[in-house]
């Protein structure tokens, strides 16, 4: 069969799609999935999004979404033990969860897909297990949203692991898996400069003095962790700065911080790129999407009071990669922030959106080649 015959047969194949599976646990995993879907569609590929939590019983959705925040806030040691168990693919909690995933719902979504891309460990394990059982033949790509690596992120049926920092490639190798580093999947608006007049108007609306440095504190979409302690430590150590806290959907946290001088507490926002533009430094506690968004804009990030479990793992990985220092006390926090303010913004990360699309396209070609055999 010559090349022309192959081209003809490929044109006769049914349309291929990419299934992107995220998880609505927090916001970062879905954000990465939606951004990948957008890039694929902009390049003329059929890309469909699916939330893996739509394939689990309601009680598990409640546990994973609604109970996550309270457990982190009020029983952090319990959460740490749970995460230590969760990050092992042989733990009973993982086995029960994966047994509960609806095979029918997942396979309905996979039908017609030549490539499945996952952005959460639950999705990776579910899709990999089904392929291992011979229930589908789609090529599997796993995108790691965080810098911290653990066992549950891997499955032997995954064909390509994509990681957001080069240092994670070496971490994957320690688990016996190969990986390719790409620039984190961040929305394109974060790579576009924010006009000065937009920054000026935003500072005015928030009541931020033009001459004062702004430190942005982020605590994820749920606004969890020791945020109040972080605010207090910065206020006690640094007299001249203003603090803007992104409380996410935690209205209780927002109310508790709203009366503190030099602190502006905000709820859920859609203008994160503009808030990053008016800040001179960022403090985070989870190492999720906010870190990659800051990295893309060049805003220096510092980890402090990290969440138990994945937050601690990300803090270690980000510190080792040189992307985000992790001061352990308020004095070192002040020194880290003073250094960040003195050094200013880094060069924004340059990203070629086409890179990840090319990786997926090669996986689609691989799937087509297998189909033609």
The enclosing domain of 32 has a CATH number of 3.40.50.2000
Tell me, yes or no, whether 9 and 95 share the same domain: yes
> 5: how many CB neighbours lie within 10 A of its CB?
10
Tell me, yes or no, whether 316 and 357 share the same domain: no
* 333 touches 234 (CB < 8 A): yes
pTM of the model: 0.87
Give the structural domain span for 296.
191-343
* 45 touches 360 (CB < 8 A): yes
Tell me, yes or no, whether 321 and 359 share the same domain: no
Tell me, yes or no, whether 222 and 327 share the same domain: yes
Tell me, yes or no, whether 276 and 227 share the same domain: yes
Based on the structure, what is the number of domains in the chain? 2
Q: Which helix (H) or strand (E) covers residue 149, if one does?
A: none
Tell me, yes or no, whether 181 and 225 share the same domain: no
Quote the percentage of the chain above a pLDDT of 70: 86
Choose the weakest-confidence range: 1-10, 74-83, 249-258, 300-309: 1-10
Site of tokens 């005015």: 204
Tell me, yes or no, whether 153 and 196 share the same domain: no
Tell me, yes or no, whether 127 and 248 share the same domain: no
Tell me, yes or no, whether 42 and 150 share the same domain: yes
Give the burial string for 274-295 (b: 16+ CB within 10 Å, else e): bbbbbbbbbbbbbbbbbbbbbb
Q: Residue 17 pairs with which residues in a beta bridge? A: 46, 113
Tell me, yes or no, whether 141 and 206 share the same domain: no
pLDDT at 340 over 50: yes
Q: Is 264 exposed, middle or buried (0-12, 13-18, 19+ CB in 10 A)?
A: middle
Token pair for 275 = 């808030």
Residues 6+ positions from 16 with CB-CB distance below 8 Å? 46, 112, 113, 114, 115, 364, 367, 368
Q: Which position has the higher pLDDT, 50 or 222?
A: 50
Using pLDDT thresholds of 50, 70 and 90, give the confidence band for residue 96.
Answer: confident
Tell me, yes or no, whether 76 and 212 share the same domain: no
Tell me, yes or no, whether 149 and 245 share the same domain: no
pLDDT confidence of residue 9: 39
């Amino acid at each position: 069969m010559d090349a022309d015959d192959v081209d003809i047969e490929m044109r006769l194949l049914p349309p291929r799609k990419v299934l992107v599976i995220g998880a609505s646990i927090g916001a970062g995993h879905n954000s990465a999935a939606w951004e990948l879907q957008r890039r694929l569609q902009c390049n003329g590929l059929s890309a469909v999004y699916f939330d893996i939590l739509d394939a689990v019983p309601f009680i598990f959705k409640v546990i994973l979404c609604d109970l996550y925040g309270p457990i982190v806030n009020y029983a952090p040691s319990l959460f740490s033990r749970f995460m230590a168990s969760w990050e092992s693919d042989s733990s009973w909690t993982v086995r029960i969860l994966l047994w509960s995933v609806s095979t029918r719902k997942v396979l309905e979504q996979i039908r017609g897909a030549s490539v499945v891309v996952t952005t959460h460990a639950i999705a990776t394990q579910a899709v990999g297990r089904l392929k291992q059982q011979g229930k589908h033949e789609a090529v599997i790509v796993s995108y790691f949203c965080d810098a911290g690596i653990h066992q549950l992120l891997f499955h032997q049926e995954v064909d390509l692991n994509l990681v957001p920092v080069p240092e994670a490639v070496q971490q994957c190798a320690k688990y016996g898996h190969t990986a390719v580093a790409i620039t984190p999947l961040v929305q394109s608006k974060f790579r576009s400069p924010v006009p000065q007049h937009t920054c000026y108007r935003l500072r005015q609306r928030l009541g931020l003095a033009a001459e004062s440095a702004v430190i942005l504190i982020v605590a994820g979409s749920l606004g969890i962790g020791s945020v109040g302690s972080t605010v207090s430590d910065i206020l006690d150590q640094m007299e001249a700065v203003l603090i803007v806290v992104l409380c996410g959907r935690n209205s209780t946290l927002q109310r508790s911080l709203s009366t503190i001088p030099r602190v502006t507490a905000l709820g859920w926002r859609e203008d994160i790129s503009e808030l990053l533009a008016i800040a001179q430094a960022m403090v985070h506690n989870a190492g999720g999407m906010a870190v990659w968004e800051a990295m893309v804009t060049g805003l220096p990030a510092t980890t402090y009071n990290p969440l138990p479990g994945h937050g601690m793992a990300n803090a270690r990985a980000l510190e080792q990669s040189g992307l985000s220092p992790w001061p352990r006390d308020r004095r070192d926090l002040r020194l880290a922030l003073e250094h960040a303010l003195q050094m200013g913004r880094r060069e924004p990360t340059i990203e070629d959106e086409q890179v990840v699309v090319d990786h997926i396209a090669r996986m689609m070609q691989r799937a087509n080649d297998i189909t033609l055999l």
